[in-house]
Structure formats: structure tokens, C-alpha cells
A and B are shown apart, each in its own frame.
Chain A
Amino acid sequence: MSRDEDALRWEGDDELDRATADDADAGSAPGPDGASAPDAAREARRRGPLGWLMLALAAASTVGWIAIMVLNPVQQPSLLGLAMYQLGELLAVIAPLLWWFCVGRLAPVGRRAPWWLAGLVVTAPWPLAVGVLA
């Protein structure tokens, strides 16, 4: 495979001790628990019901941040300032889903739930709550 094609493939950024799809190319050696490497990789990638629930909640947070962005009047003195402000708003909107995705790809299976919960708390649309409670 050429380097150009390689650049277009998503290989993930898994932990070093986690089997990856590459292992399937190198041969299906059985893992320590008897499962083959591709099976272990598939198992590690599986989100489970909790993962999908967290995805739904992260999507709800994203909708909240979109509402904040729409309701927030933007006044910036310069075009650069306006562009950077809107870039910040875009990052704020995608942060809940980005957090969910990064936990799913980077955290070991056993540690995903606390990281997902932390993400829900940290990336919740708090400005909406401040506006409602005030």
C-alpha cells in the first residue's frame, strides 16, 4: 500500500496493549484469553448500551450548545475577532461529541464509563442553565 493511500485510512490511536485491525493483516494469532486478535479488537471497539446512551446525551448537549450559539448576540470589532469567536463557538458545539468519540477510541473499556460521565458534566450546556436559573 502506498503512503498516499495510507494517509487516507483511519487507523485509530488505540492503546498499545489493545489489538488493532492491523493485527489481522499480520495473522490471526490467538490472544491470551483464547480469542483471536480481530475478535479482541472488535470487542474493544464495541460501545455497548452505555456508549449509545452517552452518545444520545452528548448529542442532546450539542443541541443545547447550538441553541446557545443561536441566542448569543456576537459583536466583535474586527473580522479576525469575529472569525475566531465563531471558531470558538463551533468548537464549543462539537466538544460533547468530540469528548464521547475520544473516550470511545482512546480509553480502555473499563475506564470509559467514568470518562463519559465526566464529559457529560463538563460539556453540558451550562450557559442555558445559568440563563434559566437567573
Chain B
Amino acid sequence: MSAREPREERPSDSWIVALLFALAFGYDTVEAIANAEQLPLLYVGAGIEGAIPWWLLVAQVALPGIFFVVALFVGRRMRLVGKAGILLVALGVSAQLSLLAEQLARQIAITALGA
């Protein structure tokens, strides 16, 4: 078997992968903005408007974008598969933080209702 020719990676390949992941991270951000609109209404409806976790809502909106940028930075010198892997891990961590924020918001509401 002869030695294989090295694969060519065009810069546009990285841009396409980054764009696809940007859509996924963007969806996370849109969901977080929707949460930031709806969650305060639930708290107000329950009469615990003083306990609205604004810090959590702001963090939830900001973090997907931050993760995306950090993943691009970490994978900047890697080949395409490595970049995609790092971005996928970042997307997974973003999903984990969404679930954590959901649980925290639930616990804060329960604590405020019990007080």
C-alpha cells in the first residue's frame, strides 16, 4: 500500500463547522432569553417576585456565547475533527448548565415559597 496523500483542509471547512455550531449555541441563547422573559412572570404569579434569580437568568443568556468563543479559542490550532470535538464538548457543557440553571431556579422558588 502506498503512502496516502495528505488530506487538504480548506479554511472554509472550519468556517462551515463553526457556523453550524454557532446555530446550535444560538438556539441555546434564544431559549435562555425566552426563559428570562417567562421565569419572572412565574415568580410574580407565585408572589415571590423578590426572589427572582436575575444573576442566573443573565448567566444563562451569556454562557452559551462564552462557551462558543472559548471552544473556538482552544481549538484554533487543531484540525477540523479536533475543532468539532471541542465545540461538541462545549455544547454538552452548555446543555448541562441549562439543566443546572433549571434545577437552581426550581430550588430558589421552593425555598422562597417555604419562607
Contact = CB atoms under 8 A, between A and B. Distances in A.
A65 B96 contact: yes
A129 to B, nearest CB: 9
B100 A13 contact: no
A13 B81 CA distance: 6
Contacts of B81: 12-13
B110 A130 contact: no
B3 interface: yes
Contacts of A52: none
B4 to A, nearest CB: 6
Given A13-B85, A25-B1, A84 B99 contact: no
A88 interface: yes
Interface residues of B, number: 29
B103 A130 contact: yes
A91 B95 contact: yes
A89 B82 contact: no
Contacts of B100: 126-127, 130
Interface of B: 1, 3-4, 27-28, 31, 78-82, 85-86, 88-89, 91-93, 95-96, 98-100, 102-104, 107, 110-111
Please list the 8 inter-chain residue pairs (A to B) with the smallest Cβ-Cβ separation, ordered nearest first: A95-B92, A13-B82, A88-B95, A127-B103, A13-B81, A91-B92, A134-B107, A92-B95
